[in-house]
Structure 1
Amino acid sequence: MGHEVFYITVLPCIQWHLDPFLCRRLVNMWTLVMYIGQATKDVLKLPRPFSPPVVKLETRVDAEYGLPSTHAMAATAISFTLLLSAPSRIQFQFEVGLLIAVTLSSLVGLSRLYTGMHSVLDVISGVFISAMFLFLTYPYWETFDRLQLNSHFSPIVALLLPLFLSYTYPELDHYSTTRGDTTAILGAGAGCSVGYWVNQQLGQTFEPQGVLPLPLPTLTADALARGGARFLVGVAAVVGTRQVASTVSLKMLRWWYGVAKNDTSARRRKEIEVPHKFVTYTSVGLVHSMLANRVFVLLGLL
């Protein structure tokens, strides 16, 4: 629940199969807590657990700092944002939802201890920070929804603010994947936000119709077949967009800055990494939020 393969498949499925309203809430909170968590790591600069004695089972993010655990933050934010938002949209037993949310967030936190990537303090801090932001922002979710969907300034702010935060991300004395990963998250959030705004302006939000909250969809053979087809088509669209946007933007930036093709370190330079990641994942967010459902309609999958 903390890697790109989860975000690029599971989060869009909330929109494609359940309710775009819920997906919008998840993306907004995920973007917020992940930026706060990533930036906090690089401001505090507290190390991950030392190895030995800890056995580390992951290496990709070994150069990143430890506190707080952004995996724990994301799992907590996603689980409990969905739990708090769903009762007004879907009929379900709240106690069961609470049990699932606690279980999922706990398992992700414990997995970070098992893989040796975080200490107990890192995980607890991540959970606490997410819980704090959920508590502080919850009263304003409805107000933010209205502004995000209806304000004429919404798409401008949605693009410029994340781009500004990406370029002003805390600098380190060594290269770390945190800036690129954070820019990717901010870009995806920006693309989704613009897509939701466009859907609202066009009057086609693809949200469930009827008296809310609605019962959970019945799992018939036809519903499963349509859902599976939507998943395959949607994932192919977002992954294909990611590959095309990444390749084209990187080639354009290499040409603009006169960087040789065999210079593998160029992608780490701020002037290349930030626009490359931002353009790539903004494109992914737009396809997920705005285009995928329209393709489903054309193919008769909705």
Structure 2
Amino acid sequence: MLRRLSYLQDSELVARFQRRCGLVLVEAARPDRGGPEPRGGPPEEGRPDPRDEKDPSEDQERTACGRPRYEVRNWPLHFLFLLSAGLGHEVFYITCLPCIHWSLDPFLCRRLVNMWTLVMYVGQVMKDVLKLPRPLSPPVVKLETRVDAEYGLPSTHAMAATAISFTVLLSAPSRIQFQFEVGLLIALTLSSLVCLSRLYTGMHSVLDVVCGALISAAILLLTYPYWEAFDRLQLTSRVSPVAALSLPLLLSYTYPAAARYSTTRGDTTTILGAGAGSSVGYWVNQQLGQTFEPRGRLPVPFPAMTAGALALGAARFLVGGAALLGTRQAAKTLSLRALYSWYGVPRSDGDARRRREIEVPYKFVTYTAVGLVNSILVNRVFVLLGIL
């Protein structure tokens, strides 16, 4: 069992997948740089691992370039996996996910944000508790650098993709008319593409990705029976907005301390803040009696993909995206200025925002504001502009 887990964690397995998809290290692609490529799988006992035999000139070239150079031999696959990897980044979360709220059903978006917040928090904490490394480079080509300082297991991209795809799939049948088999195929395709993209970009091992998907699926199965009860509590309880703000803020401040700085605490605070702001916003909408949910007998027909509907959807995307990005920038700037002034930190000190007393409140305030604007204000702006 341990040997099998070690095999799934092996960097060479990831590198082999990359090579088969047409992503090759320049050094590995040159015939004068040694013999054949090492085979996958863990080395046998008593046998030296070929990955340990490095040419000193390779190390010099790697140092000169900052990171190993690579060659792309299959551009369609390259762009497909980069696009799939982008489905787990902030730009996607802040622009595309709210479209479910604006153009489909706020109910589905609320369910989605709740599960996304829970799954991502569990995944981020597990990374910093387990402290398992990411794949080694070389032999792996790493296409992302921002999160390289984070630990590997589990893959939160795999967790988020699984949670998002299957939360919508499980919640949508009671709200919208569609073929469940088609929805299942779409959910499997999207989540699989995101999982494979983490191997292609060299950011996770096979074990990281498999564990991420399985942990997310387990959370969905364990919480599914309580989704309806949580909906009622979230929308009607008087303590709901207080709990929605105080609990995520507490979890952000008590996030496990790391021996080295990485983006996990900041990213987790971002997620918790967005979830908190959205939760309060949905509660406010319920109290005001204007939830912007589909009218008529549920499940309603799936919206027709006419030219007019697509134009309205594009208009909502542009207006809503501009509102959220503007809110993000304004809240980030104002909160950082206030915190820098409070702690007597010069604005030129870019590293100061890594300190917990600055990073946690500025990210939490920023993304709580984004969640509030998305859930309360954006649809009301659409009504004023006549594009809802």
TM-score (norm 1): 0.99
Equivalent residue, structure 2, for 1:137: 223
Task: Tell me whether 1:36 sits opposite 2:84 in the alignment.
Answer: no
Report the secondary structure of 1:8's partner residue. Answer: helix
- Residues 125-184 of structure 1: CA deviation (Å, up to 9, x unaligned): 000100000000000000000000000000000000000000000000111000000000
Q: Summarize the alignment of residues 28-177 of structure 1 with structure 2, pairs less than 5 Å apart.
A: 28-177=114-263
Deviation of 1:222 (Å): 2.1
Task: Tell me whether 1:195 sits opposite 2:286 in the alignment.
Answer: no
Q: Report the RMSD for the aligned CA atoms in angstroms.
A: 0.6
Report which of the two structures shows the higher radius of gyration computed on alpha carbons: 2
CA distance in 2, matches of 1:50, 1:28: 34
Task: Tell me whether 1:249 sits opposite 2:335 in the alignment.
Answer: yes
Deviating 4+ runs (over 6 angstroms):
none
Report the secondary structure of 2:204's partner residue. Answer: coil
CA distance in 2, matches of 1:225, 1:128: 38
What one-letter code is carried by the residue in structure 1 that aligns with 2:91? V
CA distance in 2, matches of 1:157, 1:39: 20
Deviation of 1:53 (Å): 1.1
CA distance in 1, matches of 2:228, 2:373: 25
Deviation of 1:122 (Å): 0.1
**Most deviating of 215-224 and 34-43:** 215-224
Gaps of 5+ in 1: none
Identical-pair percentage: 79
What one-letter code is carried by the residue in structure 2 that aligns with 1:75? A
TM-score (norm 2): 0.77
Deviation of 1:55 (Å): 1.2
Equivalent residue, structure 1, for 2:373: 287
Q: Summarize the alignment of residues 247-286 of structure 1 with structure 2, pairs less than 5 Å apart.
A: 247-286=333-372
CA distance in 1, matches of 2:260, 2:154: 19
Equivalent residue, structure 2, for 1:217: 303
- Residues 100-134 of structure 1: CA deviation (Å, up to 9, x unaligned): 10111011000000111000000000001000000
Task: Tell me whether 1:185 sits opposite 2:268 in the alignment.
Answer: no
Query: Larger relative CO (CA 8 A, sep 6+): 1 or 2?
Result: 1
Equivalent residue, structure 1, for 2:54: none
CA distance in 1, matches of 2:268, 2:347: 25
What one-letter code is carried by the residue in structure 2 that aligns with 1:173? A
CA distance in 2, matches of 1:245, 1:128: 36
Deviation of 1:219 (Å): 2.0
Equivalent residue, structure 1, for 2:112: 26
What one-letter code is carried by the residue in structure 2 that aligns with 1:194? V
Deviation of 1:220 (Å): 2.2
CA distance in 1, matches of 2:294, 2:356: 42
Report the secondary structure of 2:97's partner residue. Answer: helix
Report the secondary structure of 1:123's partner residue. Answer: helix
Gaps of 5+ in 2: 1-86
Report the secondary structure of 1:60's partner residue. Answer: coil
